[in-house]
Amino acid sequence: MRQYKYYSAFVAIAVLALFGIVYLGPGDDALERREVRNIVVEFGSQLQNVPLVVEEEALKAAIETNYAPYVTDQLLEVWLRAPTSAPGRETSSPWPARIDVSAVSAQGESYVVNGRVVLMTSEEVASPENDNAGEVPVVALLVETEAGWRIAAYEEQAPQ
């Protein structure tokens, strides 16, 4: 009988823990951090689609098409007023392939994301063991908007 009580208590605790995991899920902070990280990663995948060496109207169109889903309206407006200040593809090679996020830190009601823009050339594409032709450190500030988390500030630092 005593063994049955222990077994029943164990089952009850397991059911309560499972309920907490399924219905309550991970904490809001963890979900926010994951969403913020994903926005930056997705934004990074668009960098190669914005060629900075084309005519201004084509550059503005590329900025709007590729960056609008990821940045605040204010940042988008800054880049559209001064399109060469936007991040993107400066040369045919190397090009920005992605952003690898190294840290996501809460900053009040916003998040600061540190990472690296990973550059590629056709040589790296052909060689899976070497997928990096250089890196550019990057910092982004993300804020929550009506549309979700968006990049409000973005700065690429001098390459290391």
pLDDT tens-digit readout, 92-113: 899 999 999 999 999 999 999 9
CATH code: domain of residue 54: 3.10.450
Residue 8 has pLDDT above 60, yes or no: no
Distant-in-sequence, close-in-space partners of 129: CB < 8 Å, separation ≥ 6: none
- 34-73 pLDDT, tens digit each: 999 999 999 999 999 999 999 999 999 999 999 999 999 9
* pLDDT (0 to 100) of residue 128: 65
Residue 25 structure tokens: 């899920």
- Is residue 145 situated within a structural domain? yes
C-alpha 46/C-alpha 59 separation (Å) is 13
Q: Is the pTM of this model over 0.85?
A: no
- State the residue range of the domain holding 117: 27-156
Domain membership of residue 61 (yes or no) is: yes
Q: How far apart are CA 106 and CA 5, in angstroms?
A: 45
Count of structural domains within the chain? 1
The answer to whether residue 85 sits within a structural domain is yes
